[in-house]
Amino acid sequence: MGPQEERPELGVGMVGYAFMGAAHSQAWRTAPRFFDLPLAPRMRVVAGRDAAAVEAAASRLGWDAATTRWRDLLERDDVGLVDVCTPGDTHAEIAIAALDAGKHVLCEKPLANSVTEAEAMVAAADSAAERGVLAMVGFTYRRVPAVQLARRLVEAGRVGQVRHVRAQYLQDWIADPQVPLSWRLDKAKAGSGALGDIGAHVVDLAQFVTGERLVGVNGMLETFVRERPYPASSSALGGAAGEGTGPVTVDDAAVFLGRLSGGGLASFEATRFAWGRKNAIRLEVNGSAGSLAFDFEDMNLLHYFDASEDPATAGFRRIVVTEPGHPYGGHWWPAGHGLGYEHAFTHQVVDLVGDLAAGRQPEPSFADGLAVQRVLDAVERSAADQGCWVDLPAAATAG
Ligand code: SOE
């Protein structure tokens, strides 16, 4: 294939420009410079509500234009994909409208704020796919090379039959009760708290790495701090900016058990109150033939225990997942020179562009996003019913 500029263009329009918008922007900028893409992404336009702020974001993040009307993206012939980086309460409206308008969609996680919304998004994606219009949900941690390697080892039978999955997502950004309200603490905007924001990630990781689905859960939710100060900057969350306190309407932490479709047992923790843990995503898989362990705080490492080894010398092997032959290897730096949080977003763009060029369903699909949404909903129903066991529809093993 010739140089990037000779590739067919993929015009991109992005809605939202905060943390996820910035992470996605760096991925659209970077992917064609480190990977040989079949389509040439062109960062055409970013949409946001505040005119001055979105103009500044366009300049800072590298977008050709800015608009305060996200529907403009659907009406532009030079936009072929809409990248949804907004809070969860607008995912369904924007993604469905974009798909109906014939635009491919990349939608941030969680797919939606409810199963009903997620089901509508899947229906729109299924209809659009018949017209060659495709959609992906952005569970980016799947695209950390060590996580991809873990998936490959499980798929190759290197841990045998999965017996246990132990998954944690630990943060501490609101452990201080004085941290003010934000949209993530407002059920109307976020749908749920730690459960949907970070619990969604570890549910997806457990299902992706094992290739199995959760078929039942039993869970607890807790809100430790139920009132917080209104933010000084905006009264968008109700109340007068910077005066008084308002209600937290989501969970601060979720703890739940699950049974996997292959018969294994899973345990999950998702909390924003783990003082000292900033973005600690930990996954351990114990199988009949070995174990795998991953910790995002050492994201370039995968630990592997092979139960067939001589007990006298057996132990967890520390694999530095930066070799050319490793997932996404050979595109970045020489072995041992590690990757960071942002590289998974670039890998997401690389895989998505390759799928669009090939007319292949990107993964994770909206159906995968719906599967996660069903787990979140089941945990909420279990927790509301004093932790009863809630069954989930037995689904085909994940692809
Ligand atoms: C906040 O918890 C957050 O920004 C999540 O929303 C992201 O998905 C995660 O990658 C980092 O933390």
Q: DSSP letters of 333-357? A: SSTT----HHHHHHHHHHHHHHHHH
φ/ψ of 382, rounded to 5, equals: -65, -45
Residue nearest to atom 4 of ligand 1 (CA): 19
Q: How far is the CA of 143 from the centre of ligand 1 (A)?
A: 15
| Cα separation, 269 vs 257, whole angstroms | 9
| Cα separation, 365 vs 346, whole angstroms | 18
Do the beta carbons of residue 237 and residue 399 sit within 8 Å?
A: no
The reported pLDDT for the residue numbered 153 is 98
Over its C-alpha atoms, the chain yields an Rg (Å, rounded) of 21
The reported pLDDT for the residue numbered 393 is 84
Do the beta carbons of residue 111 and residue 137 sit within 8 Å?
A: yes
pLDDT tens, 178-212? 999 999 999 999 999 999 999 999 999 999 999 99
Confidence of residue 238 (pLDDT cuts 50, 70, 90): low
Q: Which domains does the chain have, with CATH numbers?
A: 4-140 (3.40.50.720), 144-340+366-397 (3.30.360.10)
- Helices 115-129/91-100 angle, 10° precision: 10
Residue nearest to atom 9 of ligand 1 (CA): 198
Q: Is the CB of 173 under 6 A from ligand 1?
A: no
Range name among 1-15, 130-144, 196-210, 330-344 with the lowest pLDDT average: 1-15
The reported pLDDT for the residue numbered 233 is 75
| Cα separation, 111 vs 91, whole angstroms | 7
Task: Compute the half-sphere exposure of residue 286: CA atoms within 13 Å on the CB side of its CA.
Answer: 8
Confidence of residue 385 (pLDDT cuts 50, 70, 90): confident
The reported pLDDT for the residue numbered 1 is 46
**What is the share, in percent, of the chain residues with pLDDT greater than 70?**
95
The reported pLDDT for the residue numbered 394 is 75
Nearest C-alpha neighbor of 264 from the set 221, 215, 218, 307: 215
Nearest C-alpha neighbor of 23 from the set 342, 278, 349: 342
Strands 162-170 and 135-138, how do they pair?
A: unpaired
Q: Is the CB of 19 under 6 A from ligand 1?
A: yes
Confidence of residue 388 (pLDDT cuts 50, 70, 90): confident
Q: How far is the CA of 172 from the centre of ligand 1 (A)?
A: 12
Q: Which of 111, 140, 171, 197 to mutate to test the pocket of ligand 1 (most atoms within 8 A of CB)?
A: 197
Q: How far is the CA of 197 from the centre of ligand 1 (A)?
A: 6
Confidence of residue 399 (pLDDT cuts 50, 70, 90): very low
Q: Is the CB of 212 under 6 A from ligand 1?
A: no
Task: Assess whether pLDDT exceeds 60 at residue 397.
Answer: no
- Indicate which atom in ligand 1 lies nearest the CA of residue 20: 4
| Cα separation, 168 vs 70, whole angstroms | 35
Strands 40-47 and 65-67, how do they pair?
A: parallel
The reported pLDDT for the residue numbered 243 is 81
Q: What is the model's pTM?
A: 0.95
Three-class SS state of 271: strand
Task: Assess whether pLDDT exceeds 80 at residue 132.
Answer: yes
φ/ψ of 384, rounded to 5, equals: -70, -20
Do the beta carbons of residue 67 and residue 83 sit within 8 Å?
A: no
The reported pLDDT for the residue numbered 255 is 97
Task: Assess whether pLDDT exceeds 80 at residue 95.
Answer: yes
**Rounded average pLDDT over 38-54:** 98
> What integer best gives the mean pLDDT of the chain?
95
Q: Is the CB of 341 under 6 A from ligand 1?
A: no
Strands 104-108 and 290-295, how do they pair?
A: unpaired
Q: Is the CB of 108 under 6 A from ligand 1?
A: no
| Cα separation, 162 vs 212, whole angstroms | 9
